[in-house]
Structure 1
Amino acid sequence: MRPSARRYTQNNEQSQQNFAIVKKRLNVVVIALSIVQLFVSGAIINKAYMAAQEPQTQVKDYFAKEVRRGSIYDTKGVLLATSLKVNSLYADPKMMLDANDAIFKLKKAVPELNVDNLKRKLSNKRRRFVWIKRNLSPKQAYKINSLGIPGLAFKQESFRTYPNGSLAAHVLGYINRNGSGVVGVEKFYDEQLKNGEDIHLTIDATLQSTLRESLANKLLKTNASSAWAIALHPQDGSVLASVSLPDYDANFYNKASAEQWKDRTTSDVFEMGSINKTYTYALGFDKDIINLNSILDATRPIRIGKYRIRDAYPKSKWLSTVDAFKYSSNIAVSRVADELTVEQQKTFFDKLNLLGPLNYDLGTTAAPIAPTDKSWKRLKKMTLSYGYGLATTPLQAVAALSSIGNDGYYVKPKFVKETQTEKTKIVSDETVSKMKRLFSATVEEGTGRRARVKGYLIGGKTGTAEILEKSGEYNKKQNLATFIGFAPLDNPEFIVLVGVNSPQGRLSGGGSAAAPIFREFAKKAFAILNIRPSLYKMQDKGQDILKYNKGQL
């Protein structure tokens, strides 16, 4: 081969080798660039995807544990509280094209929106979730959806509703915006309700409505500042109705005043007046200090130091036990209390759960105002006998009085059907029989005549107590009128305690302001509970009862 041909061949081989090297390097570069491109593209896509998904993810996390809240029913299955599915509106500020334009359009659909507050929230593009309006009506949701505003979306939430408005509002309570119970059944059974469990109460919606109506009518007529009443089934302590006025609509709890929120049956304490004479006579019978044939000295006021115990309407004579009770003599009952020891009185009140807060299935009552050991002497023992010196909640009082007017057993009150009944024997059957004689005489012949219901034997006791001011002085122009009623007396189906605070006008005592409320309620309750009339003949000594009740002779 010629030298020139050899050089050409060598050069050609060298060029091919160089080209192969360059080609290999180019392939490496291309592959590297492709990898970088894929990585960048993936990051961009992922970022865009996450940006689009972020609001929904936040909402999903926010409601991840949401379970439809359980409903609340009365004793017969009437719906008192339930949760409905509603639409709530939220926004992702970063996805909105024009926040001001969006607000302008939304304001037409939802006039109550706070524009300034909303502008401030939506102008922050770093925020990805802002509530606009929760619990929209179907009409509002339709209007907003029709606007087609970018960055807005709906989320279905549970909305708590109370179909009967103010009915049993204090018992039911309400929930806050986070879905947690604040007071009442909603609070104390919050965990069960959040887990979807239904709660069945002892409250009878019809009796609740009837009691509220009777109480509200009297409240208006007497121009009283407030009123309350509790109806109890004495056999198992079931609260059939519980009313505190003024009340509120549980659907609009945030618009109620502090006075409307207050449940006076459990959070306020009162000196109950002469209905507390029940305790003294029952203890006197139980300790054999008195009997139905006893004669008590009510001829003149009792003077102890600078204090005088007198009667509002003095008889100024010796009175039988029956007459002393039915005419509500402070002097006579003080004579009975004077024969009791302080320890006997204190122990009896303690057994009736009147000296400390009462724990029940919806919480704990307010603490009573009771005498100290140092002050619990002879005079205090007497004033306690007719209702001064001990202030308790109405729930405590109705449970204590129920035990004496029913069968001698103290039964802890309850609002929820599944709560177990707790019973403790307090007084003997003989004492209960004697007390029923006193209760009957009070309604048939004494201060409780306005509680009578034709065809039924009603028992009860009136009370009128001057109101203790913050200054520590009693206001002689303002009083609490009370009445405790048992119906039918021989075997009570319901026991009702009524209180009217500061009734105005001439008829402001327990017999004229509180007893008529019981009568109006009882007349309707007998029909609601299908309790047939009874015919009774009561005599001063013992009882001769001809009974025609519920078809039994």
Structure 2
Amino acid sequence: MLENASTNYDSIKIDGANKSAIEVCKQRIIAVSVIFFVVTVLISIKLFYVSSSGSVIKTEIINDQLPIVRGKILDRNDKILAVSLPSYSLHMNGTKVRKPIILLAKLSKIIPTIDKSKILKKINDQKKFIYIARQLTPKVAEEVHLLGEPSLDFDIESLRLYPLEKETGYLLGYMGFDDKPHAGVERSFDEKLKQGKDVKLTLDSRLQSIVYDKLKDGFIEFNAKAAVGIIMDVTNGEILAAVSIPDFNPNLRSQHKSGNSNNRVTMSNYEMGSIFKSFTIASGLNENLINLDSRFDASKPYEVKGKIVTDFHPKNRILSLKEVFVYSSNIGSAMIAMQLGMEKQNHYLIALGLNKTIDSGIKEINAPLFPEVVSEADIVSRSYGYHISVNPLQVIAALAATVNGGKYIEPFVVDDPIYKKRPSVQVFKPEVSNIMRYLYRSVVSDGGTASKINIKEYKIGGKTGTASPVENGQYNTEKNIVSFISFLPINDPKYAIFILLDNPNPHKKPQATAGWTAVPIARDIVREMAPVVGEPGLNFNMTKNINKEAILQ
């Protein structure tokens, strides 16, 4: 009976509010475990020194004054994301070693990772200072001490730990063996941290874990080259989650390589494709050039000064504005862009921060590629996300302005007044946001390219984007950059969820577009995150600010 119960227990799945509670408990357990570990280490160190009177172990502590401990990095709920703990560094004076072979054999039993041949060579060369191992625990250091070897000595150094490991690797950066910060928040706020002051982020570690898990699953399932996932509060610009894959574990020093500094959230620029139609349509609405009654002739390809524009899913008929957005018509977007013109198009893209480097609290960022528009063909290309290359953090902030009442708010990841007090920019009229919410919802609910996120529990709006990457100066139509922006809840948006996959390669080629890859990942994230952030489900009221009749009135 008990055996059966155990088997059944293994198959239990926890969802919804219960899972939220479990996540809270999990965070509390992590916090308590870290505190317990810190206290244990400190007690061990104290006992170690008390028991080692007259031994070879030394300390740099003078007059009982401990060195300043590097500040912690915390999430928005004060959960520990990075913390410094004391550890031991073991070194040797090669001129004092009497029986090197025997000594190294004993050391290797305690510290199996040491390179005996390398150390032996340095002993034979009579080196006075030879590093044996770093960041040893008090238990391991005590075992070495009990060898009673006078050629060995210890120093205390700081061990930086990252409880969420790979989930926050790129965002936080890491501390190297040289005790210098490399990348991320560690580097950006080094001065504050090394003064012993904590740095608090806008990040919610619960959401970070959800995005990481679902994005990693999708990255593997769709055999992608890379993946990005971001959650942003559209009302204030706070980044609640930001994940870049491939990832790395900052706790593993062997993974601290220059190649691992490529945080694709801020450092990789992409031509985003059709999600740029959001900007084109919102700009046209704001200039009163178009409205929901506008019609566009997509019955045949559209030619602009020698450039032929076609639709990926052609309807070969007259399309309404809603249909242009729902079916992601390049032809309709190109026609709107031509009405808008070069000057106005540039005005809106610049107002949305798509031409500048964003200061979010992360120093590692690439400037966007915002080439000069020299022809009408360039205007058309930009209308559906080509001829302009931006990073994911830029695009989620710009898209947020299409639904939050029209305000562009520069995004940030560090909870600091220098970011929170920055003024917003009113780019679109509030009524434009109202119409855009209706259009985003239609893409999900009316058979559009994001229908796979049309789940009954939550009402969501969004827009897909699929683009071919540039390789060797030409577009490679055999590969895709796919992306998806979604908003929750769509009647009064609070959260933006952005997903990007670089060259997903599922077995069935037609399923390499955003609707088949990025959209399901976003759907899974929404199902997990909504109960955590307290979003209502079945009682959702879709009548507020979303129905077409209200818009037309």
Q: What TM bracket, shorter-length normalisation?
A: 0.7 to 0.9
Post-superposition offset of 1:539: 4.2
- 2:6 matched to which residue of 1? none
Matches of 2:328 and 2:495, distance apart in 1: 23
Q: Does 1:542 align with 2:550?
A: yes
Aligned residues, how many? 487
Matches of 1:120 and 1:304, distance apart in 2: 73
Superposed CA deviations along residues 119-149 of structure 1, whole A, max 9, x for unmatched, are 344446573x443211113443232112111
Q: Which has the larger radius of gyration?
A: 1
SS of 1:106's equivalent? helix
- 1:390 matched to which residue of 2? 388
SS of 2:187's equivalent? helix
Q: Does 1:77 align with 2:78?
A: yes
Cα separation, partners in 2 of 1:227 and 1:160, compared to 1, 3 Å? same
Letter in 2 for 1:234: V
SS of 1:478's equivalent? coil
C-alpha contact (below 8 Å) 1:536/1:544 kept by paired residues? no
SS of 1:342's equivalent? helix
Post-superposition offset of 1:543: 4.9
Matches of 1:442 and 1:302, distance apart in 2: 23
Post-superposition offset of 1:100: 4.7
Q: Does 1:408 align with 2:414?
A: no
The partner residue of 1:463 within 462, 465, 471 is: 465
Superposed CA deviations along residues 211-241 of structure 1, whole A, max 9, x for unmatched, are 1111122222211221111100111111100
- 2:531 matched to which residue of 1? 527
Cα separation, partners in 2 of 1:259 and 1:507, compared to 1, 3 Å? farther
Report sequence identity in percent: 30
C-alpha contact (below 8 Å) 2:59/2:156 kept by paired residues? no
Match runs of 1:141-180 below 5 Å = 141-180=141-180
Superposed CA deviations along residues 448-490 of structure 1, whole A, max 9, x for unmatched, are 1112231432111111111211x11211121011111010012
- 2:378 matched to which residue of 1? 380
The partner residue of 1:517 within 518, 521, 525 is: 521
Matches of 1:250 and 1:223, distance apart in 2: 24
SS of 2:437's equivalent? helix
Post-superposition offset of 1:57: 9.0
C-alpha contact (below 8 Å) 2:463/2:485 kept by paired residues? yes
Cα separation, partners in 2 of 1:126 and 1:431, compared to 1, 3 Å? closer
Post-superposition offset of 1:77: 1.5
Cα separation, partners in 2 of 1:253 and 1:353, compared to 1, 3 Å? farther
Post-superposition offset of 1:67: 2.0
Structure 1 range deviating more: 530-539 or 488-497: 530-539
Cα separation, partners in 2 of 1:491 and 1:253, compared to 1, 3 Å? farther
C-alpha contact (below 8 Å) 1:172/1:185 kept by paired residues? yes
Letter in 2 for 1:522: V
Matches of 1:359 and 1:403, distance apart in 2: 18
Cα separation, partners in 2 of 1:58 and 1:87, compared to 1, 3 Å? closer
Post-superposition offset of 1:242: 0.5
SS of 2:186's equivalent? helix
> Which segments of 5 or more consecutive residues in structure 1 lack a partner in the other structure?
1-52, 546-553
Matches of 1:80 and 1:360, distance apart in 2: 18
C-alpha contact (below 8 Å) 1:246/1:259 kept by paired residues? no
Superposed CA deviations along residues 225-260 of structure 1, whole A, max 9, x for unmatched, are 211111001111111001111111111153367665
Cα separation, partners in 2 of 1:108 and 1:539, compared to 1, 3 Å? closer
Matches of 1:310 and 1:520, distance apart in 2: 32
Q: Give the TM-score, by structure 1 length.
A: 0.83
Cα separation, partners in 2 of 1:144 and 1:395, compared to 1, 3 Å? same
SS of 1:157's equivalent? strand
Letter in 2 for 1:394: P
Structure 1 range deviating more: 259-268 or 283-292: 259-268
Letter in 1 for 2:132: I
Match runs of 1:174-213 below 5 Å = 174-213=174-213
SS of 1:232's equivalent? strand
Q: Does 1:492 align with 2:490?
A: no
Superposed CA deviations along residues 429-450 of structure 1, whole A, max 9, x for unmatched, are 1111111111111111111111
SS of 1:280's equivalent? helix
Match runs of 1:220-299 below 5 Å = 220-255=220-255, 260-299=260-299
Post-superposition offset of 1:535: 3.0
Structure 1 range deviating more: 414-423 or 281-290: 414-423
Matches of 2:95 and 2:256, distance apart in 1: 38
Matches of 2:346 and 2:127, distance apart in 1: 67
Match runs of 1:421-500 below 5 Å = 421=420, 422=422, 423-445=424-446, 446-469=448-471, 471-500=472-501
- 2:312 matched to which residue of 1? 312
Cα separation, partners in 2 of 1:359 and 1:417, compared to 1, 3 Å? closer
C-alpha contact (below 8 Å) 1:292/1:541 kept by paired residues? no
SS of 1:285's equivalent? helix
Letter in 1 for 2:462: G
Matches of 1:115 and 1:259, distance apart in 2: 29
Post-superposition offset of 1:494: 0.9
- 2:341 matched to which residue of 1? 341
Superposed CA deviations along residues 272-296 of structure 1, whole A, max 9, x for unmatched, are 1100001111110111110111112
Letter in 1 for 2:550: G
> Which segments of 5 or more consecutive residues in structure 2 lack a partner in the other structure?
1-53
C-alpha contact (below 8 Å) 1:455/1:535 kept by paired residues? no
Post-superposition offset of 1:103: 3.1
Superposed CA deviations along residues 395-441 of structure 1, whole A, max 9, x for unmatched, are 00001111112121111111111243221211111111111111111
Superposed CA deviations along residues 289-315 of structure 1, whole A, max 9, x for unmatched, are 101111122121112344210001111
C-alpha contact (below 8 Å) 2:58/2:154 kept by paired residues? no
Letter in 1 for 2:526: A
Letter in 2 for 1:319: L
Structure 1 range deviating more: 375-384 or 414-423: 414-423
Matches of 2:173 and 2:107, distance apart in 1: 33
- 1:132 matched to which residue of 2? 132
Superposed CA deviations along residues 330-371 of structure 1, whole A, max 9, x for unmatched, are 000100000112111112111111113222222252111222
C-alpha contact (below 8 Å) 1:167/1:208 kept by paired residues? yes
Matches of 1:109 and 1:488, distance apart in 2: 56
C-alpha contact (below 8 Å) 1:174/1:253 kept by paired residues? no
C-alpha contact (below 8 Å) 2:207/2:529 kept by paired residues? yes
Matches of 1:364 and 1:357, distance apart in 2: 10
C-alpha contact (below 8 Å) 1:135/1:157 kept by paired residues? yes
C-alpha contact (below 8 Å) 2:58/2:153 kept by paired residues? no
Give the CA RMSD over aligned residues.
2.5
C-alpha contact (below 8 Å) 2:228/2:245 kept by paired residues? yes
Letter in 1 for 2:330: N
- 2:361 matched to which residue of 1? 361
Letter in 2 for 1:426: V
Superposed CA deviations along residues 195-222 of structure 1, whole A, max 9, x for unmatched, are 1111111111110111111112222221
Cα separation, partners in 2 of 1:219 and 1:365, compared to 1, 3 Å? same
SS of 1:498's equivalent? strand
SS of 1:391's equivalent? coil
Post-superposition offset of 1:319: 1.1
